[in-house]
Chain A
Amino acid sequence: MTSEQRRAPSASTGSPLVSLKRVNKHFGDLHVLRDIDLEVARGEVVVVIGPSGSGKSTLCRAINRLETIDDGEITIDGKVLPAEGKALAKLRADVGMVFQSFNLFAHKSILENVTLGPVKVKGMKGSEAKELAMSLLKRVGVDNQAQKLPAQLSGGQQQRVAIARALAMQPKVMLFDEPTSALDPEMINEVLDAMVSLAKEGMTMIVVTHEMGFARRAADRVIFMADGQIVEQATPEEFFTNPQSERARDFLGKILSH
């Protein structure tokens, strides 16, 4: 595993940006995360795939503690994820999150959605935040919608705004929790394009998705999860052409046969 080789003792650029060690989580009797070990290097794009109920969304949400974990340790840039309070809020500001259902603030304009974090969390000046927001909205191609409310935009546009909102915090890593699963088919590509260009710019990304095309185009590594475990990980090329495990072959057979 390449990230093992790059590992360094201090929190310098060589150490993993995101690290999970023996992470476990239960929902009642259901063991949703089983001894998850994962390291994501700076600039790496990791795609997590797997059948529904495999724990991939829970894994993604655990990284910024939207889901608590029962035991194990999650560190981001060398710092252990705090349990709660101001320290946790501070750390979350460094972790961008894009949700399946966009979750734009429904009572705020597109522009306000993007400026809110920089102004209220980072204390950025309003004018500066507005400039930053407009450049980010332009980057994802929705700058002409800045004054509208989220409900007035299409799903694809909303999701691109959500990406801009996360980027406005200048995060160290971006988490994507099935970002295209709630979109109409014709809107999926506009979101994936924004994600691919983000990956090309060197953003560290953890992406839970069913979009195999995106995995092939942008991922450095594919992680296959089933029943709460990481069953297999490999480069996209290796994984899609020569999956090692029976579960992965079965899964790929089901989704790629059409």
Chain B
Amino acid sequence: MENYLSLFETYDVPAAFWVNIQLSFWAAIWALAIGTVLALFRISPIPSLQWFGAAYVNIFRNTPLTIILAFGFLGLFSVMQISLADELDVSLFRIAIVGLALYHAAFACEAIRSGVNTVPLGQAEAARAIGLSFLPAARLIILPQAFRGAIAPLGNVLIALIKNSTVAAAGSVATEASGLMKTMIEFRSDLVIPIFLTFALGFVILVIPIGLLTTWASRKLAVAR
């Protein structure tokens, strides 16, 4: 036991989780924003935008996240010398956020689109009938109801995103949880199992409240029809 506790003196586990929380937070905001725009494209009356939305979703949804993040580090950063900050670790951190956001935007888009499907067609027709064009109708009538119908699937995307933030290690963000775990296992191979369990438990603690919260919110905010 003392052996185990000594781990926390040598390694800052909460700080590593904090990196994942930050990665997830920013990636979630960007994924939601990009996903919303993509969903708008997919339900828009303009065929080229519909096509773009569908193409984006199919490409990013079907590409392994590891490849996207490795491309961000090796392709964008190393080869193309694209840097998002002066300091190396900040730049890598931001590139990881971009990769996570681009990937999860595809899933957020589909979650929002499933929310749009909960809104009866008559709502859009009524909006058009009073003279709202596509964007105002989407902003005022369709999306507010769609988001309320998409809380649960969006929660699932967020849960996946938090766990997937560990893949940032593939983008050389060495400070995040799974990176630290690897380091710890390397130096303390006597405690492999407890180390695994520690990190697994950490993610469970992070993720469970989100599941509970979104289930509660999706009931609370459901649109009465």
**Is residue A151 contacting chain B, with contact meaning CB distance below 8 A?**
yes
A66 CA / B131 CA spacing, docked (Å): 12
Interface size on A, residues (CB 8 A): 33
Cβ distance A171 to chain B, nearest Cβ, rounded Å? 9
- In contact, A101 and B122 (Cβ under 8 angstroms): yes
- In contact, A106 and B224 (Cβ under 8 angstroms): yes
**Is residue B78 contacting chain A, with contact meaning CB distance below 8 A?**
no
**Is residue B132 contacting chain A, with contact meaning CB distance below 8 A?**
yes
Closest to A165 in B: B130
A166 CA / B127 CA spacing, docked (Å): 11
Cβ distance A133 to chain B, nearest Cβ, rounded Å? 13
A104 CA / B225 CA spacing, docked (Å): 10
A256 CA / B141 CA spacing, docked (Å): 41
Binding site for B on A (CB under 8 A): 64, 66, 84-86, 88-90, 92-97, 99, 101-107, 116-117, 120-121, 149, 151-152, 162, 165-166, 169
Task: From known contacts A105-B141, A106-B145, A107-B144, infer whether A66 and B129 are also in contact, taking CB-CB under 8 Å.
Answer: yes
Closest to A151 in B: B224
A120 CA / B133 CA spacing, docked (Å): 11
- In contact, B133 and A107 (Cβ under 8 angstroms): no
**Is residue B136 contacting chain A, with contact meaning CB distance below 8 A?**
yes
* Chain A residues within an 8 Å CB radius of B122: 99, 101-103
A106 CA / B118 CA spacing, docked (Å): 12
Cβ distance B200 to chain A, nearest Cβ, rounded Å? 40
**Is residue B128 contacting chain A, with contact meaning CB distance below 8 A?**
yes
Q: Provide the main secondary structure of the chain A interface.
A: mixed
Cβ distance A162 to chain B, nearest Cβ, rounded Å? 8
- In contact, B127 and A105 (Cβ under 8 angstroms): yes
A116 CA / B130 CA spacing, docked (Å): 9
A116 CA / B223 CA spacing, docked (Å): 18
Task: Pick the contact of B133: A66, A86, A149, A151 (CB < 8 A).
Answer: A86
Task: From known contacts A99-B125, A104-B126, A105-B126, infer whether A93 and B141 are also in contact, taking CB-CB under 8 Å.
Answer: no
**Is residue B123 contacting chain A, with contact meaning CB distance below 8 A?**
yes
Closest to B136 in A: A120
Task: From known contacts A89-B131, A89-B133, infer whether A103 and B126 are also in contact, taking CB-CB under 8 Å.
Answer: yes
* Chain A residues within an 8 Å CB radius of B129: 64, 66, 92, 95-97, 99, 166
Jot down 17 A-B pairs with beta carbons below 8 A, ordered by A.
Answer: A66-B128, A86-B133, A89-B131, A90-B131, A92-B129, A92-B131, A96-B129, A99-B126, A103-B120, A106-B145, A106-B224, A107-B148, A117-B131, A121-B131, A151-B225, A165-B130, A169-B130
**Is residue B64 contacting chain A, with contact meaning CB distance below 8 A?**
no
- In contact, B224 and A169 (Cβ under 8 angstroms): no
* Chain B residues within an 8 Å CB radius of A121: 130-132, 136
